[in-house]
């Protein structure tokens, strides 16, 4: 491991691993990943080999600068690989980990979960992320299989199995053009299934000639995908759920975006990369060893190399990856740099920066108006929670304060 690429002040790096590539048993209409299989037309079997698995695990452990190590398994659909594959991965983690704390999280659409899978996850302390877009009507709008059949029932069955075996799980919910109009129905659904950890992911995709465009595409032929969330409605959605959460759920239901906003308010590192100052410390490795700058930037121009010829350390600390990470801050339009909420937003995800400012400067985030509405709305409550944290009191005190404030 070369000291050329590491410093004692380096952030932990994450490389999301795709053991099955862009292969899935569902065909969700808004999925940004399934079309990545077109980059590998000559490959029939998109499966990570045991040889590459071992090479990845060894190098990934070696390149970490913190005592704890997190492996993230992502798809496609991760459960299309057998349990034996993940058992092999755990053996390799123990072999190369040399006693270090190693954790695993895995993202799944939930439809293939069984008692056997859930027992395995429980026994090995996996955190399971389940993709579910709210109640049946919302979820089945876009999340269907290749025959066009709905998936909600199978996902709910999977969640019940996770709960039965007491597996720690969270929900990853995509907010789109349809469910954004029903924030309280959406939020109350997760409460009704006793899901206490929720991630909201706004879907914003652009298309060119019926294919997803690259994030920095400026061609006039590029159009917003019809399932993309409306920017202002996104802000209204967040405000409505925040107000409901404020009534009695602070400290018992954890919404990643709210937690990350508070982290930025107090000057801590947010738990979601989209709100961080820079990016570039979370890459992705495909089934064949190709590494890319980010899960949302799996395009040829953002390829860092291949693990067979270049180490993870080299690629993640390379000049091109450092530049990619710093571009988030360096390429902010003047309007963003002057914004009172820059500290909270940091321009959000670079893939969504395709609008022009009032002065004609490129790079304004599509979701800007929505986030601005949200930050304006929550500012007094975030200020209060910040003070409570600084005084070493629970931020949940905001609930009583809000009741008094809003009398």
The pLDDT tens digits for 16-36 are 999 998 899 999 999 988 888
Q: Assign 11 a pLDDT band (cuts: 50, 70, 90).
A: low
Top-confidence residue, 313 or 66: 313
Active-site residue flag, 259? no
- Vertex 190 angle, CA 369 and 256, to 5°: 50
Say which of 115, 194, 295, 330 is annotated catalytic.
295
Partners of residue 172 on adjacent β-strands: 131, 199
pTM metric for this prediction: 0.94
Whether residue 224 contacts residue 208, with contact meaning beta carbons closer than 8 Å, is answered with no
Which of 226, 212, 202 has the alpha carbon at shortest distance from 367?
Answer: 202
Q: What is the mean pLDDT of residues 164-171?
A: 98
* pLDDT above 50: residue 90: yes
Largest alpha-carbon pair distance within the chain? 65
Q: For residue 77, what are the contacts with CB-CB under 8 A and spacing of at least 6?
A: 20, 23, 24, 25, 26, 108, 109, 112
Answer yes or no: are the C-beta atoms of 335 and 365 closer than 8 Å. no
Selection from 244, 111, 141, 260 nearest residue 190 by Cα: 244
| Ramachandran quadrant class, 98 (left: phi over 0; alpha: psi -120 to 50; beta: rest) | left
CA nearest neighbour of 358 among 339, 377, 330: 339
Of residues 212 and 273, which shows the higher confidence score?
273
- Span 395-405, average pLDDT: 95
* Per-residue model confidence (pLDDT) at position 6: 38
Distance of CA 252 to CAs 56, 188, 194, 247, 381, Å? 37, 14, 10, 12, 17
Can you tell me the distance from the alpha carbon of 399 to that of 70, in angstroms, rounded to the nearest whole number? 34
Q: Is the pLDDT of residue 2 over 50?
A: no
d(CA 322, CA 115): 43
DSSP reduced 3-state for 17: strand
Helix (H, G, I), strand (E, B) or coil at 128: strand
Question: To 5 degrees, how large is the angle CA 124–CA 129–CA 130?
Answer: 125
- Mean predicted lDDT score pLDDT of the chain: 93
pLDDT > 70 fraction of the chain, expressed in percent and rounded? 97
Query: Could you say which DSSP state residue 12 is in?
Result: P
DSSP code at position 77: -
3-state SS assignment for residue 362 = strand
Q: Are 69 and 104 within 8 A, CB to CB?
A: no
Contact predicate 84/50, CB 8 Å? no
Of the candidate ranges 6-20, 78-92, 342-356, the one whose mean pLDDT is the lowest = 6-20
CA atoms of 378 and 258, how far apart (whole Å): 9
């Amino acid at each position: 491991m070369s000291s050329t690429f590491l410093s004692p002040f380096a952030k932990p790096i994450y490389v999301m691993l795709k053991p099955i590539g862009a292969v899935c048993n569902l065909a969700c209409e808004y999925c940004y990943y399934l079309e990545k299989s077109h980059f590998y037309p000559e490959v029939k079997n998109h499966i990570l080999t045991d040889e590459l698995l071992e090479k990845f695990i060894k190098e990934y452990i070696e390149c970490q600068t913190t005592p704890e190590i997190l492996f993230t398994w992502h798809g496609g659909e991760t459960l299309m690989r057998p349990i034996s594959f993940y058992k092999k991965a755990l053996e390799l983690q123990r072999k190369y980990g040399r006693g270090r704390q190693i954790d695993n999280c895995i993202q799944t659409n939930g439809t293939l979960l069984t008692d056997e899978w859930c027992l395995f996850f429980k026994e090995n302390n996996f955190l399971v992320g389940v993709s579910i877009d709210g109640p049946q009507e919302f979820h089945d709008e876009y999340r269907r299989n290749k025959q066009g059949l709905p998936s909600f029932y199978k996902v709910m069955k999977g969640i019940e199995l996770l709960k039965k075996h007491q597996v720690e799980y969270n929900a990853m919910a995509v907010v789109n053009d349809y469910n954004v109009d029903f924030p309280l129905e959406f939020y109350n659904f997760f409460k009704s299934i006793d899901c206490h950890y929720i991630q909201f992911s706004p879907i914003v995709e652009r298309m060119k000639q019926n294919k997803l465009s690259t994030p920095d595409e400026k061609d006039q032929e590029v159009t917003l995908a019809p399932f993309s969330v409306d920017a202002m409605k996104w802000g209204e959605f967040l405000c409505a759920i925040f107000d409901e959460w404020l009534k009695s759920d602070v400290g018992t239901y954890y919404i990643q975006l709210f937690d990350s906003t508070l982290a930025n308010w107090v000057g801590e590192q947010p738990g979601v990369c989209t709100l961080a100052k820079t990016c570039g410390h979370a890459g992705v490795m495909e089934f064949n060893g190709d590494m890319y700058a980010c899960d949302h930037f799996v395009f040829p121009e953002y390829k860092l190399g291949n693990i067979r010829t270049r180490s993870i350390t080299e690629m993640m600390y390379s000049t091109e990856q450092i530049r990619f990470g710093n571009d988030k801050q360096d390429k902010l339009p003047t309007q963003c740099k002057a914004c009172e909420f820059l500290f909270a937003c940091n321009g959000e995800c670079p893939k969504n920066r395709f609008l022009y400012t009032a002065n004609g400067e490129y790079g304004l985030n599509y979701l800007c108006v929505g986030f601005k509405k949200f930050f304006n709305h929550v500012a007094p409550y975030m200020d209060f929670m910040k003070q409570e944290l600084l005084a070493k009191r629970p931020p949940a005190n905001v609930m009583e304060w809000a009741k008094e404030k809003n009398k």
